[in-house]
Amino acid sequence: MKRYIPNALTLLNLLCGTIAVILAVNSHFIAASIFVFLGIFFDFFDGFFARKFNVQGLLGVQLDSLADMVTSGLVPGIVMYKLLLLTVDVPLEPVNEWNDAMSWIGFKMPWIPFIGLSITLASAYRLAKFNIDEDQQTYFKGLPTPANTLLIISLPLIIEFQNSDLMNAIILNKWFLIGLTMVSSYLLNSKIKLFALKFKSYGFKANATRYIFIILCMLCLIVFQFAAIPIIILLYISMSLLDNITLK
Asked whether the beta carbons of 173 and 87 are under 8 A apart, the reply is yes
What is the tens place of the pLDDT at every residue in 2-59? Answer: 777 888 889 999 999 999 999 999 999 999 999 999 999 999 888 776 676 676 777 7
Query: How many domains are contained in the chain?
Result: 1
Helix, strand, coil fractions of the chain, as percent rounded to 5: 75, 0, 25
Asked whether the beta carbons of 15 and 142 are under 8 A apart, the reply is no
Question: Could you tell me if residue 209 is inside a domain?
Answer: no
Segments forming the whole domain that contains residue 117? 2-94+109-196
Question: Could you tell me if residue 157 is inside a domain?
Answer: yes
CATH number assigned to the domain comprising residue 141: 1.20.120.1760
What is the tens place of the pLDDT at every residue in 145-167? Answer: 999 999 999 999 999 999 899 99
Residue 193 forms beta bridges with which residues? Answer: 141
d(CA 1, CA 151): 36
Question: Could you tell me if residue 104 is inside a domain?
Answer: no
Question: Could you tell me if residue 27 is inside a domain?
Answer: yes
What is the tens place of the pLDDT at every residue in 179-197? Answer: 999 999 999 999 999 998 8
Strands (E), the chain: 139-141, 193-195
**Percent of the chain at pLDDT above 90?**
63
The reported pTM is 0.89
Question: Could you tell me if residue 176 is inside a domain?
Answer: yes
Question: Could you tell me if residue 154 is inside a domain?
Answer: yes
Query: Strand 139-141 to strand 193-195: parallel, antiparallel, or no bridges (unpaired)?
Result: antiparallel
